[in-house]
Every structure is written in structure tokens, then in C-alpha cells.
A = this chain, B = another copy of it.
Amino acid sequence: MKRKEIRLSGAGGQGMILAGIILAESSLFDPELYVVQTQSYGPESRGGASRAEVIVSREPIDYPKVVKADILVCLTAESLEKYGQEVAEGGVVIADDSFAGEDYIPPEGVDFYSLPIIAKAREEIGLEVTANMVALGAVDHFLSEIDSECLEQAIEKRVPGGTEEKNMAAFRAGQQLLAARV
């Protein structure tokens, strides 16, 4: 397996960093997986942009930055504009359908999914902040390296006490978004 690079991007408060940590920690259940999880903040990221990166590999990870994402999640139009072209051939872009679809053209060989991530969180779960877990459910669909069960255990461990059930429901809603569609 070559290394797999996942970039989760959106606005501050959308929980991209927590989603990245959960993704990274879910790898702890696999004794052979190397994982690096990174947040970067720079002057250009002021104004509420948020980005978490996770790299998963069966070999030690020398360069811990995402170069071209294999899986890119965008919960804002700004993040799709910023990262939408930095995706590897064979990769996927998952973006919220509240903004995505009209003028975005993915790179050649990249699949694009415009999904009702935020709407699911708001309407079905009744808690918009669980959009990060809906997104994680969608990512799970494309991430054969990590078992869904490990992701679920990592979610349970990391989300605030008392919110486990809603977050898990959001994760499953995200899985179903793709099960219904792909």
C-alpha cells in the first residue's frame, strides 16, 4: 500500500481538527499502521479557515505533509477553491452541496461527490456541529485502510461525553450518503 493522504478542510468551528484526530486515532487499532496527523496555522489561514491532514501508511512516514490529497473534504466554498486542484489522480473530492457543484471542475481522474453533509447534520441529526462526523462517514467509504469499527471506537472515545449517540448517528448518516449513491 502506498501512503494515503487525507485533507479535511472547512471553517473554524466545523470540527475538522477533531475529525482529523479521530481519523488518526482510529488507526491505533491496527498494530501495523503508521499515521501522522497535522494542523497548520499561518497568516493566510486567519479569518476562520481550518484544515487537518492525516497521512496513513504501512511504512514510516518521512514527509508528514499532504502534497496531493487522495481524499479531500471541503465544507466551505473557500476550502474547495483553495484545495480543489491539489488532489491525486484516482482520488476523490467530497464537498458540501450547499455550495459545491456549479463551477468546480475536478482534476482529471478525480471523482467528485457533492453531498448534503451539513443539511444531514442539521436536519436529520438536529445538530449542525455533527457535520464533521457526517463527513467522516463519507470518508470511511473510500478508506479501506481503516475499519469502520475502529473509526466508531475512536469517535466514542473522543467526542464530548453525552454526545456519543448523536455523533455516531451522524457518522452512519455520512456512510449512507455514499452507500445510496455510489
Which residues of chain A have a CB within 8 Å of any CB of chain B?
17, 21, 24-25, 27-28, 31-43, 46, 60-61, 64-65, 160-161
Contact = CB atoms under 8 A, between A and B. Distances in A.
Given A64-B65, A161-B160, A24 B41 contact: yes
A105 B38 CA distance: 31
Count of this chain's copies in the oligomeric assembly: 2
B64 A41 contact: no
Nearest to A36: B40
Given A28-B46, A161-B160, A37 B39 contact: yes
A46 B24 contact: no
A41 B21 contact: no
Given A17-B21, A21-B17, A61 B40 contact: yes
9 contacts: A21-B21, A21-B39, A25-B41, A34-B41, A37-B40, A42-B60, A64-B64, A64-B65, A160-B161
B17 A31 contact: no
Given A46-B28, A65-B64, A37 B35 contact: no
A124 B32 CA distance: 40
7 closest pairs, A vs B, by CB? A35-B41, A34-B42, A37-B39, A38-B38, A36-B40, A160-B160, A64-B64
Contacts of A33: 41, 43
